[in-house]
Amino acid sequence: MLKRAITKLKSSDKSKQFIKYCLVGGVNTFIDIGALYVFVEYLKIDVITASVFSFIIAVANSFLMNKLWTFRNKSTNYRKQFIKFFIVSVIGLGVNTIFMFTLVNLLSIWYILSKVITSFVVLTWNFLVNKFWTFRLFQQNIEILKNFEKDLSIIVPAYNEEKRIGKTILAISDYITTRKIKAEIIVVDDGSKDKTAQVVNNLSKKITNLRLVSYQPNRGKGFAVKKGVEESRSKLILFTDADGSTPIEEYENLKNSLDKTSSDIAIGSRYMAESNVKIKQPFSRIMIGRVGNFLIRIFLIENIRDTQCGFKLFKHTAAKNIFHFQKVKRFAFDMEALTIANHLGYKIVEIPVTWSDSTDSRLRPVRDSIRTLKDLIFIKLNLLSGRYRQEKTK
């Protein structure tokens, strides 16, 4: 019963698309004839040339209407899609001519009936090829939960963190216990050379909702967070650093802002007037961060002051969709996540947080700045070539 209802709903969605496509076709017939009339009568262009121009105008209009309305296609690659659409239209015109010739001249069918049959064939051909080729969207197999096991997953990426992570986990665990939050802590450790895994495993004997995800070899913070998101089965997903630079208490501010502003993502920020930076990062790191933010603003997304703060909260669906497309494995993954979020139309709110920098850092300024710069270009190219284009799963 439910299955049948779903199938019906899906098919009605498809037929809606086809009806829209036919409507666009109708509008275009008017545009085509109207433009032809103007060219011939007012601009005194000969009929054949005018009909080529009017055909191109009609195709251009039909392209835009179908892209933006019928198929709601978000790809920014207009040129490639238009070329495809044009090819389909020209072939359609060819099919139209062949059909008309065959039906009217060879089979002697009344020309109006022939036109009806031909239009139906050509429209269906155009519709299908445009749907599955020109405006193809890659439907992804993303598992989006509707029933959550927990309210919150706290992901802590950790690399060589034996000294810092114990204190951070205890603080998080205390916090969720006193606040009675139904949460789990997921530590993602990849190839640490110290006793990180052992420390976490020991703690997990006392803290039941603590989990360790481990793999080899080391692949960077971005990859670790992605792994954590894949593991999460909670309504909200937070990631935070193992050094506890931002205290877990800030979670509440982020969550409240998510609710208040109906956003999908709340990100901690160190660079807002109300931010409370107790211990600053070293000057060189602040400079790197600032330059990074500046470049991001120019190239990728405006309006975000601090893309790099390691404290970010996502709604389940947003996190699953965004991290599915995540490709950057190292420190630029934040920028990529926010770029994808923006591209998929998720709403981001930036919240001032407390930050006490921990001098020990996994980031190596020169090597990682160069990598980040390279990643920035990689992200922009992905964006332009439509690699983040895929339809999001609801």
Ligand X SMILES: Nc1nc2c(ncn2[C@@H]2O[C@H](COP(=O)(O)OP(=O)(O)O)[C@@H](O)[C@H]2O)c(=O)[nH]1
Interacting residues toward ligand X by CB under 6 A? 157-159, 161, 188-190, 218, 220-221, 224, 241-243, 245, 310, 358, 361-363
Comparison of 190 and 264: residue with beta carbon closer to ligand X: 190
Question: Is residue 264 involved in binding Mg ion (CB under 5 A)?
Answer: no
Q: Which of 304, 295, 234 is nearest to 266 (CA)?
A: 304
**Is residue 303 within a helix (H) or strand (E), and if so which, with residue range?**
none
The torsion of the CA quartet 307, 309, 315, 319, rounded to 10 degrees, works out to 70
Max CA pair span of the chain: 88
Comparison of 326 and 358: residue with beta carbon closer to Mg ion: 358
Tokens of 391: 């339809």
**Is residue 215 within a helix (H) or strand (E), and if so which, with residue range?**
strand 210-215
Residue with the CB atom nearest Mg ion in the bound state: 243
Cis peptide before 157 (omega within 30 of 0): no
Number of residues that bind Mg ion (CB under 5 A): 3
Comparison of 334 and 350: residue with beta carbon closer to ligand X: 334
Number of separate helices (H) and strands (E) present in the chain: 12, 9
Selection from Mg ion, ligand X, none that 334 binds (CB < 5 to 8 A by kind) is none
Stretch that binds Mg ion, among 3-11, 33-41, 51-59, 357-365 (CB under 5 A): 357-365
Question: Is residue 368 involved in binding Mg ion (CB under 5 A)?
Answer: no
- Bridge partners, residue 238, by sequence: 154, 313
Comparison of 243 and 350: residue with beta carbon closer to Mg ion: 243
Alpha-carbon 324 to chain mean position: 8
Give min distance, CB of 334 to Mg ion, in A: 13
Give min distance, CB of 281 to ligand X, in A: 7
Task: Please state the length of the chain.
Answer: 394
Comparison of 26 and 365: residue with beta carbon closer to Mg ion: 365
Binding test (CB under 5 A) with Mg ion, winner from 190, 243, 306, 368 = 243
Beta strands in 120-182 (DSSP E): 150-158
Stretch that binds Mg ion, among 220-228, 263-271, 331-339, 353-361 (CB under 5 A): 353-361
Q: Note the residues at the interface with Mg ion (CB under 5 A).
A: 243, 245, 358
